[in-house]
Structure 1
Amino acid sequence: MTFAEQLIILALDPKTGKFHALPRKSLEIGLAGAFLLELTFRNVIDSDANSIIILKEQYPQRPLLNSALQVVREGDKEIPFRKAIGRLALQGKLLVSKTLEHLVDEEVLDRKDKIFFIRRDSPIYPQADDRLRQDVVKQIRDLVLDPEAIPAPEEAALLALVLACRLQRKIFTEEERDEFESRFQQLAGMDLVGIAIVDAVRAARDKELLDLAAD
């Protein structure tokens, strides 16, 4: 699954089918970061903590990723990281709805009005039902709770997205958070792009998205 899909799955409350209550704008900005991470790992853009460089002007293999790429680039070849996040986050609600729509089309989620549940008979992801979410949660828990575990780059990036949206509150108990918070942040910080996303979310709490996109 893509970073965006994993983030959406984690952000949905499996009991209610609605999104968990999250800090202001964090899901939209976190999802913007998820798209940037996906484009980075697919070698469509190059990223560091300060800026992104466009390597490919089109990415037709994935229409939603290609749309995100066009929003980011706006004719530029190199964009400050926070500006790229801001540009995408301005389309955050659309990114959320399009990612949900894709998961419904892929028969991963069932929709009932504005409520979304993981399907129990997905032909695309036969492990769906709640095991799909549990597998992602288990992956995160195993990395953080095992002091010997070393995350792969993609895993560190996922941890950073979780940290940006403060979703660790839905994955770890209060006692676990107290004990392992420093390790969680250390592992999430192993991915420079991921930690830049965390910083962008924190900055956005004090800024309007238009201001972030103009930085």
Structure 2
Amino acid sequence: MTVESLKVESLSLVDELILMLLDEKGGYFHQVPGWQLNCAVVGGVLAELSFRSRLDSDLTSLFVVDQSETGDPVLDPVLKEIADEPVQHTARYWVERLAPRAESIVDLTLDRLVERGILQHHEGDFWTPAPPVMHRQQYGMFEEDATDQFIKARIGNVIFADEVPEPRDVVIVCLVNTCDVFRLIFELDEAAEERIRFICQLDLIGRSIAAAVSENLVGPIRRHTALAKKIPTVSLTRLLRNPHVRDGNLNALFGSLAEEYGPVFQIRPPFSERMIFLAGLETNEWMQKRGRMYLRTRDYFGDFEKVYGAAGVLPALDGADHFRLRKFLSPAYSRTRLAGQLDELYSRGRAYMSTLAVGDSYRATSMSRAMVNAQLSPLFIGVDT
């Protein structure tokens, strides 16, 4: 990737908002509650449409002034939905109505940033700046018309160096401030916080959209009913008759139960507490995107750490901490590292195989376990096995 390749297309306000909210070290967004993040992302879309002269607003409503498509797959569906509405509504109404679209908007934006070589995607849905971008950011190699004109550095100059902000920067400051993320990005003193409040008052569209987002965080206009559907129970007879119980394929077992009972179901074993299961394709997709915020390994190791006076034991690391650990250890498991150890690997393999008898058959699982134990036992307990 070259500097020239980054200049072909400028970043949209939504792109820059996503980059601003992304925790580069943790590989995912700063801990912003889901509804808060959704409202901020939708606010960014509305602001971008306004900057492209498709939307305008007054004190009472937000309305379309140009229905022509922008060519941006993130913006055009939102523009069409607003244009098709026969009645005008406030920005606050549209922020809440469009909030369920935010997840797909974030996915499209992240994919686009990866395609353009600005972000790098890692297994487990983590994102970090691509190496060339990271190096330019680290050494301050900024250019005025580069598409990745690093938003955090630019906003930092607006806040701390009193640079005059562009209208787009004002909107980003408003939205990020609404998410209460600045304290996680910069070290703020009283003067910086006052500067942020001042910037948030500079632009009418930014102020109105940020106000709409803030109002929705306090109390949504369109009240949603709570889910009251009873969790279905899998009978023990039905469970034991499932063919996958006999063949031991647990993935297929719970997958088939999810198809029959839905993504959430419960099993009530005799003389034991009920067990609630989340299974199926929809659940796995949700886990991939949102599970890190609700199902955390460290919650289950809390008592263990208290008993042993430990903090941050390796099995309890998850989310951003696990991503950083995996990134730190990756060179030790790289192809280059393995290639340098092939002679020793062949030697140990041949030594173990010399103990095998010709013509005998062995189970791959038990054989592999024995070979692994032969390597680990001297390291862990000082005994050859």
Q: Which amino acid aligns with 1:153?
A: P
Q: Which residue of structure 2 lines up, in the alignment, with residue 158 of structure 1?
A: 172
Matched, 1:67 2:77: yes
Q: Any conservation in 1 of the 2:24–2:128 contact (CA below 8 Å)?
A: yes
Q: Any conservation in 1 of the 2:43–2:213 contact (CA below 8 Å)?
A: no
Q: Which residue of structure 1 lines up, in the alignment, with residue 158 of structure 2?
A: 143
Cα separation, partners in 2 of 1:11 and 1:170, compared to 1, 3 Å = same
Query: Could you report, residue by residue, the CA deviation over 1:142-182 in whole angstroms, capped at 9, with x for unpaired residues?
Result: 112234x3222222122112212222113321xx3422212
What runs of 5+ residues in structure 1 fail to find an aligned partner?
A: 122-127
Computed over aligned residues only, the root mean square deviation of the Cα atoms, in angstroms, reads 2.4
Q: Which amino acid aligns with 1:95?
A: I
> SS of 1:53's equivalent?
strand
Instruction: Output the CA distance in 2 between the equivalents of 1:58 and 1:79.
Output: 20
Give the one of 83, 92, 97 matched to 1:82.
92
Cα separation, partners in 2 of 1:178 and 1:165, compared to 1, 3 Å = same
> SS of 2:120's equivalent?
strand
Give the one of 95, 98, 112 matched to 2:105.
95
Q: Which residue of structure 2 lines up, in the alignment, with residue 115 of structure 1?
A: 126
CA drift of 1:23 comes to 4.1
Q: Which amino acid aligns with 1:25?
A: W
Cα separation, partners in 2 of 1:61 and 1:24, compared to 1, 3 Å = closer
Query: Could you report, residue by residue, the CA deviation over 1:11-57 in whole angstroms, capped at 9, with x for unpaired residues?
Result: 11111211110245221111101111110011011134542220122
Instruction: Output the CA distance in 2 between the equivalents of 1:87 and 1:37.
Output: 16
Matched, 1:7 2:17: yes
Q: Which residue of structure 2 lines up, in the alignment, with residue 129 of structure 1?
A: 134
Q: Which residue of structure 1 lines up, in the alignment, with residue 213 of structure 2?
A: 201
Matched, 1:56 2:66: yes
Which structure's relative contact order is higher, taking Cα pairs within 8 Å and 6+ residues apart? Answer: 1
Q: Which amino acid aligns with 2:42?
A: A
Q: Which amino acid aligns with 1:162?
A: V
CA drift of 1:191 comes to 1.4
Count of equivalent residues: 203
Give the one of 168, 176, 179 matched to 2:191.
179
What runs of 5+ residues in structure 2 fail to find an aligned partner?
A: 1-10, 138-146, 225-385
Q: Which residue of structure 1 lines up, in the alignment, with residue 35 of structure 2?
A: 25
Q: Which amino acid aligns with 1:204?
A: N
Cα separation, partners in 2 of 1:180 and 1:90, compared to 1, 3 Å = same
Cα separation, partners in 2 of 1:58 and 1:86, compared to 1, 3 Å = farther
Query: Could you report, residue by residue, the CA deviation over 1:112-137 in whole angstroms, capped at 9, with x for unpaired residues?
Result: 2311122124xxxxxx2262878212
Instruction: Output the CA distance in 1 between the equivalents of 2:115 and 2:213.
Output: 29
Cα separation, partners in 2 of 1:144 and 1:162, compared to 1, 3 Å = same
Q: Any conservation in 1 of the 2:96–2:220 contact (CA below 8 Å)?
A: no
**Which stretch has the larger CA shift, 199-208 or 130-139?**
130-139
Cα separation, partners in 2 of 1:191 and 1:49, compared to 1, 3 Å = farther
> SS of 2:75's equivalent?
helix
Cα separation, partners in 2 of 1:171 and 1:134, compared to 1, 3 Å = farther
Instruction: Output the CA distance in 2 between the equivalents of 1:119 and 1:198.
Output: 30
Q: Any conservation in 1 of the 2:64–2:82 contact (CA below 8 Å)?
A: no
Greater C-alpha Rg: 2
> SS of 1:70's equivalent?
helix
